[in-house]
A and B are shown apart, each in its own frame.
Chain A
Amino acid sequence: GESVGLHLPTLSVQEGDNSIINCAYSNSASDYFIWYKQESGKGPQFIIDIRSNMDKRQGQRVTVLLNKTVKHLSLQIAATQPGDSAVYFCAEYTGNQFYFGTGTSLTVIP
């Protein structure tokens, strides 16, 4: 997942703009990836997933891009809304378990 540190990376965007959240994963053998959204006081919520045989997958207002060459995953949120404010983190599946990033805190400015 993302590099481990004491402070969450943060991202602030204007309402209506597009958001891009990035994740560098660690294992080139990872074959499945998930993006989760975690709102304050709640558990992580599944947003979208992608398998390693794909480069791009789209959902409702969200797109995940996978670049296996540089081991990079990104989440794009179109027309960001105040309800999108949360911590977003990626998870990679390798071996027999998931490994989770530390997350990016997204703040949407009205």
Chain B
Amino acid sequence: DVKVTQSSRYLVKRTGEKVFLECVQDMDHENMFWYRQDPGLGLRLIYFSYDVKMKEKGDIPEGYSVSREKKERFSLILESASTNQTSMYLCASSLGQGIQPQHFGDGTRLSIL
């Protein structure tokens, strides 16, 4: 089974802090994704990556950046956290060939005070 591991289940940070959310997958998947999940809204794509060192903006990239130095690891960075970034953050991965289902981690619930 695919295992996508997010380093923190719960995180509390202060406004203005730089925040790092880490995600690791163990299935040698080429593609990795970061979403946020808010009540009443579907998952929204922040950033994705099809290969090491590559990144693409999703639908809501403002205020975020990403890093993919190794194939198995995809980091989401909040450059200067703001209260409207309080949310559930989900990382996903998928195989690179064709259209493939995405496999998700259990999420990081981030609160910005």
Contacts and interface: CB of A to CB of B under 8 A. Distances in A.
Contacts of A46: 101-103
A31 B40 contact: no
Interface of A: 1-2, 4-8, 31-32, 34, 36, 41-46, 49, 89, 91, 93, 97-103
Interface of B: 4, 35, 39-43, 45, 48, 58, 90, 99, 101-107
A6 B40 contact: yes
Given A4-B42, A43-B90, A46-B103, 11 more contacts: A4-B41, A6-B39, A31-B99, A43-B105, A43-B107, A45-B104, A46-B102, A89-B42, A91-B43, A102-B40, A102-B41
Contacts of B41: 4, 102
Contacts of B101: 34, 46, 49
A45 B107 CA distance: 12
B39 A99 contact: no
A81 B9 CA distance: 28
B48 A97 contact: yes
B104 A43 contact: yes
